[in-house]
Amino acid sequence: MLTQINFKIDEKLKKLALAKAKRTGISFSAYLRSASQEFVKENVSLAIVRNETLNNKTRKIHTQITKDLKNGKNISPAFSTSQKINEYLDTL
């Protein structure tokens, strides 16, 4: 038994997807059915990735930190024990 799924999609994206499906010789609904089957079989995964946009203040801080890392500046040494960390902090 087949069932129907309705969801909202941007009109421009829908047109592009339908056109691509047509060029490949498959209906868009057939493509979505196949993608759904592969998703359930875990052959396809989906990750939501959000591109972060930094504000000016954070961008300046990030730029300075990156510059310092490249120049080996403002970096604490590696410590093997908590005792050595405390000794180092006492010298600051």
Quick: pLDDT tens for 5-58.
Answer: 999 999 999 999 999 999 999 999 999 999 899 989 988 777 777 778 889 999
Contacts for 36 with CB less than 8 Å, ≥ 6 apart: none
- For CA atoms 47, 51, 57, 60, the dihedral sign is positive
What confidence score (pLDDT) does residue 46 get? 76
Scored b (16 or more CB within 10 A) or e, 21-43 reads: beeeeeeeeeeeeeeeeeeeeee
Total residues found in the chain within this entry: 92
What confidence score (pLDDT) does residue 51 get? 79
Q: Is residue 64 within a helix (H) or strand (E), and if so which, with residue range?
A: helix 56-71
Token pair for 17: 């997807």
What confidence score (pLDDT) does residue 42 get? 85
What confidence score (pLDDT) does residue 76 get? 81
Q: What is the pLDDT of residues 54-81, one digit of tens each?
A: 899 999 999 999 999 999 888 888 888 9
Give the predicted TM-score (pTM) of the model: 0.47
Give Rg (Cα) of the chain.
26
